[in-house]
Amino acid sequence: MKVLAIVISYFPNKEDLTRNIEAFKEYVDKILIWENTPEDMAAAYRFVHDAKVFYCGSGENVGIPKALNYAWHLANEQHFDYILTMDKDSRWEGFGDFLKEAIRVESMEECVCGPYTTNARDAGLLAESETIITSGALVPVSVLNKIGRWPETFKIDCVDFDFCCKCKVYGVKSYMLNRGTLHQTFGKTILARSIRTGRYREIADYSPQRLYYIVRNSVILKKMYSAFPLGKHLKMWLCCHASQIILHEDKKISKFTSMLRGALAGILART
């Protein structure tokens, strides 16, 4: 089985990118680093030099799905069986175990497998999920050929939801595997002290612009896919993230305003 990995890079940190790739390099056949860093600066961010690694890009930031669809076309041309999709700053633990189990599961039924991103685990090996995040997903090329590429509705936020919803329309399930762990950074992070425990932990500190697109794209997805659990998704944002903004983050008014604008824009958007 041939595996093509794609790492989507945008102004990467050298240490993070190198550590990311080293964690899974021995298990894949080729690694495509898609460089979204602008062309006049991209050369300075090409840190990884290895026989398995090659760089591609268009000279501008095209977002996530266009880069993934390039990998899909390349995988068909060069007869790869799977595509591993990675962010630039993710980090695997136990990728070999995940890969082995994901290939076994995906050989038994049409599905896509992704990892857990924390140490929390379900009791079983396998759990069907409404979505798996893009980073760390192992996608059979045959599934992409069936559903017809990654949707390019959005450049970044909700790309994973869009993909999993499209898979579901075609009868392809999304599974979380209790093998390996992906350490994932969700945007910029800050240290915040828990009121309940007094301990510090990292939380995502999204910009007002990111919050606008997260909420807007979520509303658009509901209009595109009736089964998309918008209520559950927005409840998480409005309860969990709203409290984080109030207690720990700056630009509070700007962030809440952006979320409201995003909801309105999603309602008014044509699909």
- CB neighbour list of residue 183: distance below 8 Å, 6 or more residues apart: 90, 91, 92, 93, 117
Close Cβ partners of 127 (under 8 Å, ≥ 6 residues apart) = 175, 176, 178
Tens digits of residue pLDDT in 91-129:
999 999 999 999 999 999 999 999 987 644 555 678 898
Q: Is 82 helix (H, G, I), strand (E, B) or coil?
A: strand
| Percent of the chain scoring above 70 in pLDDT | 90
The confidence score (pLDDT) of residue 198 equals 65
- Cα-based angle 109, 157, 218 (whole degrees, multiple of 5): 85
Whole-number Å distance between alpha carbons of 131 and 165: 8
**pTM across the whole model:** 0.89
Which tens digits make up the pLDDT trace of 215-230? 999 999 999 998 888 7
Helices (H) then strands (E): counts for the chain: 10, 11
Does the pLDDT value for residue 239 go beyond 90?
no
Give the helix ranges, DSSP H, for the chain: 14-22, 39-42, 65-77, 95-108, 141-147, 159-169, 208-224, 230-235, 242-248, 252-268
Say which range, 21-30, 39-48, 141-150, 229-238, has the weakest mean pLDDT.
Answer: 229-238
Tokens found for residue 220: 């658009």
Q: Which residue has the tokens 């959005």?
A: 154
DSSP H or E stretch at residue 138: strand 137-140
- Percent of the chain whose predicted confidence (pLDDT) is above 90: 65
Q: What is the pLDDT of residue 232?
A: 76
- Note every long-range contact of 198-203, with CB atoms under 8 Å and residues 24 or more positions apart, other chains counting: 203/244, 203/248
Q: Is 187 left (phi over 0), alpha (psi -120 to 50) or beta?
A: left
Is the predicted pLDDT of residue 40 greater than 50, yes or no?
yes
